[in-house]
Amino acid sequence: MMAQHGGDSEIEGLIARMTLAEKVGQLTMLSGDLVKTGPVTTTVTAEAITSGRIGSLLNVWGPERVREIQRLAVEESRLKIPLFFSLDVLHGLNTVFPVPFGEGCAFDPELWEKTARVAAEECAREGIDLTFAPMIDVARDPRWGRIVEGPGEDALVAARVALAKLRGFQGANLTDAGSIAATVKHLAAYGAVRAGREYTSVDISERLLHEVYLPPFRAAVEAGIAAIMPAFIDLNGTPMTANARVLNDIVRRQWGFSGVMVSDYGAVAELIVHGVARDLTEAAALALNAGVDIDMMGNGAYGDGLPQALERGLVTIETIDASVRRVLTLKAKLGLFADPYRRCGPARAAAETRKARRALAREAACRSVVLLTNRDGALPLRAGADRIAVIGPLADGKGDAPQAQDKRAIVVRDGLHAALPKATLAFAQGCLVERGNRAALTEARALARDSDTVVLCLGETMGMSGEASSRTHPGLTEAQCALARAVLAQGKPVIVLLFSGRPLVLPDWLVAKAGAILAVWFPGDAAGEAIGDVLSGHVNPGGRLTMSWPVDVGQIPVFFAERPTGRPPLPEEHYSSKYLDMPNEPRFAFGHGLSYSRFTLDGLRLDRAAIGAGDTVEIAVDVTNHGPCAGEEMVFLFVRDLISSITRPALELKDFGKIALAAGARGTLRFRLGTDDLRFLGPDLRPMLEAGAFDILVGQSARAEGLLQARFDLVVAAGKVA
């Protein structure tokens, strides 16, 4: 008889009745075949389910398919324990939103939550109980392909993304209709892989781990995240999948995480390849003892390895039971004991709902667009009957298989046609994403020559970003550069759209000669409409970069939260921190993004010049929209701790906010900083507060020249370090 509601006593009763094989089964997750997210080494069989050797599945969804498999577990297995079904849903399921790296540029936690909620509701009708999202890996190296999944270079932004997505996915209660379990990943510092190369080792200081990479995960744990996924990488020599110090000591014991830890795909068995385990038995023991509850596609690591490990005394039955208990508790919280088919509802949403979701996708795509340059008001495009050439291999928004180009909707052309109905639009591919084509180039050159304006669609295909997609030169391919030169040579205004999953290294001549450049990322289902909205001026772009864009690969890593050196860069001083052949500054700073309006900040003021422990300081700054159109201005609040026991970053992001203003209007943005915001990790890596002077810096990005500055003192009772 299956436990009805999975209460604690029922779970204990279940555990007491489970055989070792059934316990290990609950700790085993296998992949279905609807989508491939890693090497397929083990297949799912009905017998494996009815014998209780599988506890959860990934990459299987669809109400009928899930119902069919779940029925095997809850009707034909001995203990009738329900499975849970999981999938990577990083930017929507049936409604596709901008990729996370693009959506992050909206700097809008409310929007981030809304899109996650829609994704959760769609998952909860497709049989999906848990998603492996949000990915909250801070990253500062554009060569790494997984930037596309993440929040950019700053830990505060990563934490805000984590909390917003957790609220959206998990709702108020995991048993609510439309709620699914969220998983923050990949713990920790995966974004710091050496040289940006996928899966390589990570060597960072303990300070950087605790100041930058752990805080977003801690925020998610404190907010009640259901699951955590350790990263593939070894952190300072210890593979995260076997890292008991981080997983158990810090995350479970110090932070109090009681949820489930699910390994990454095959990561338990890969401990052998890392060289820390001789065989699956040792690998299983290391992972389980480190706190990893579920072995995802581990090639039998837990299934075969744990019984051996128990026999050899490498693990205890209590440790196994503790993991089983956490998995069964998650299933109970998901309501699966009460109703194993609760998320197998009719997948088709009502027409009204689909319409609202499409509108949200369009809003999210518009808000993710970042206007990088706009010379001489090249944008917005006039509404006249201009001849607009849409050129480039990314005009379909994806740049997938070239032969599909002619069949696939040319979303940029179609979106512009909807936004500018009087314009005459024509399309030429010009080249393939990674290969030139003489005839196509000739056709594109001629079309540019015969047009009034060119919209040039360049960048990466979706396949050039993401997992296992690091690039040594994260820029435009030679074929695309040749196309851009040919188009620019026609002397017409050229608007460049960059589709990408990361910051791109751009040639100086393109930045200098393009009329305007926009980062549009991979905008999702509403790509065409959103691009049409922004280029036509129906929407005033407000996106801001969550990651610095280097001038050249040689600058990597370049990010705003660098610590000052003893010899800061001084142009006239030879002996100062700079390159001989390149500026220190990125081409575009964190927070960069233009508007069709001109905004200015002034009147930075604090409500007090000093604060003591437990106090807050109110910060206000005035924002003016000089026009010509209404728009939103994003303002970033940084602090600089001028004197402290440890060198502190020159800029620490403490908050961000936006204000919507009509043309000609003026408004005030207010922030509050408390002493808790001024704590830092002292020499012993313990949080401390230190009296002294701080600068508050407020600006439209992290670019030093644009920051307003005000000083205040933190006064801590003599000798008292709070």
Closer CB to ligand GLC, residue 58 or residue 635?
58
3-class secondary structure for 215-272? Answer: HHHHHHHHCCCCEEEECCCEECCEEHHHCHHHHHHHHHHHCCCCCEEECCCCCCCHHH
Q: With beta carbons less than 8 A apart as the criterion, state whether 594 and 579 touch.
A: no
CB of 173 to ligand GLC, least distance (A): 24
Q: Which two tokens stand for residue 432?
A: 């393939």
Q: With beta carbons less than 8 A apart as the criterion, state whether 154 and 89 touch.
A: no
The amino acid sitting at 569 is: P
* Backbone phi and psi for residue 436, each to the nearest 5 degrees, phi listed first: -75, 165
Closer CB to ligand GLC, residue 301 or residue 381?
301
CB of 62 to ligand GLC, least distance (A): 17
CB of 54 to ligand GLC, least distance (A): 16
Binding mask 226-255 toward ligand GLC (x if CB under 6 A, else -) reads ------------------------------
Span 466-505, contacts to ligand GLC by CB under 6 A: 467
Q: Does 185 bind ligand GLC (CB under 6 A)?
A: yes
**DSSP character at residue 706:** G
Nearest to 475 by CA among 503, 456, 495: 503
CB of 451 to ligand GLC, least distance (A): 43
Helix axes 301-311, 317-333, angle to 10 degrees: 140
Closer CB to ligand GLC, residue 27 or residue 483?
27
3-class secondary structure for 625-658? Answer: ECCCCCEEEEEEEEEEECCCCCCCCCCEEEEEEE
Sequence length of the chain is 722
Q: 535: exposed, middle or buried (C-beta count within 10 Å: 0-12, 13-18, 19+)?
A: buried
Binding mask 431-470 toward ligand GLC (x if CB under 6 A, else -) reads ------------------------------------x---
Tell me how many degrees the CA angle 168-172-175 measures, rounded to the nearest 5.
100
Give Cβ neighbours of residue 69 (< 8 Å, ≥ 6 apart).
Answer: 44, 49, 57, 60, 83, 85
Span 16-75, contacts to ligand GLC by CB under 6 A: 37-38, 58
Closer CB to ligand GLC, residue 132 or residue 694?
132
Choose which of 85, 217, 265, 588 interacts with ligand GLC (CB under 6 A): 265
Closer CB to ligand GLC, residue 229 or residue 410?
229
Annotated catalytic residue: which of 108, 129, 264, 295? 264
Give Cβ neighbours of residue 16 (< 8 Å, ≥ 6 apart).
Answer: none
Give alpha helix (H) positions in 450-580.
478-488, 508-513, 527-536
Give Cβ neighbours of residue 617 (< 8 Å, ≥ 6 apart).
Answer: 606, 607, 608, 611, 672, 673, 696, 712
Nearest to 285 by CA among 325, 244, 256: 244
d(CA 47, CA 469): 36
CB of 219 to ligand GLC, least distance (A): 19
**Sheet strand arrangement including 424-428:** 370-374, 516-519, 494-499, 453-459, 387-391, 424-428
Q: Name the CA dihedral angle for 469, 472, 474, 475, rounded to a multiple of 10 degrees.
A: -130
Q: Which two tokens stand for residue 264?
A: 């990454």
CB of 151 to ligand GLC, least distance (A): 14
Binding mask 668-707 toward ligand GLC (x if CB under 6 A, else -) reads ----------------------------------------
d(CA 100, CA 191): 15
CB of 134 to ligand GLC, least distance (A): 11
Choose which of 88, 113, 122, 211 interacts with ligand GLC (CB under 6 A): 88
Closer CB to ligand GLC, residue 11 or residue 60?
60
d(CA 372, CA 516): 7
Closer CB to ligand GLC, residue 262 or residue 328?
262
State how far the alpha carbon of 222 is from the alpha carbons of 263, 406, 503, 674, in Å. Answer: 21, 50, 31, 19
Pairing of strands 56-58, 28-31: parallel
Closer CB to ligand GLC, residue 130 or residue 520?
130
Closer CB to ligand GLC, residue 133 or residue 494?
133
d(CA 212, CA 136): 11
DSSP letters, 25-90, are: HHTEEEE-SSS-SS-------HHHHHTT---EEES---HHHHHHHHHHHHHHSSS-PPPEEEE--S
Report the residue number whose CB is nearest to ligand GLC.
Answer: 37
How many residues line the site for ligand GLC (CB under 6 A)? Answer: 9
Closer CB to ligand GLC, residue 89 or residue 526?
89
CB of 263 to ligand GLC, least distance (A): 9
Active site residue 622: no
The amino acid sitting at 720 is: K
Closer CB to ligand GLC, residue 65 or residue 408?
65
* Backbone phi and psi for residue 159, each to the nearest 5 degrees, phi listed first: -65, -40
CB of 435 to ligand GLC, least distance (A): 29
CB of 146 to ligand GLC, least distance (A): 8
Span 124-153, contacts to ligand GLC by CB under 6 A: 132
CB of 185 to ligand GLC, least distance (A): 5
Point out which residues bind ligand GLC (CB under 6 A): 37-38, 58, 88, 132, 185, 264-265, 467
**Active site positions, annotated:** 264
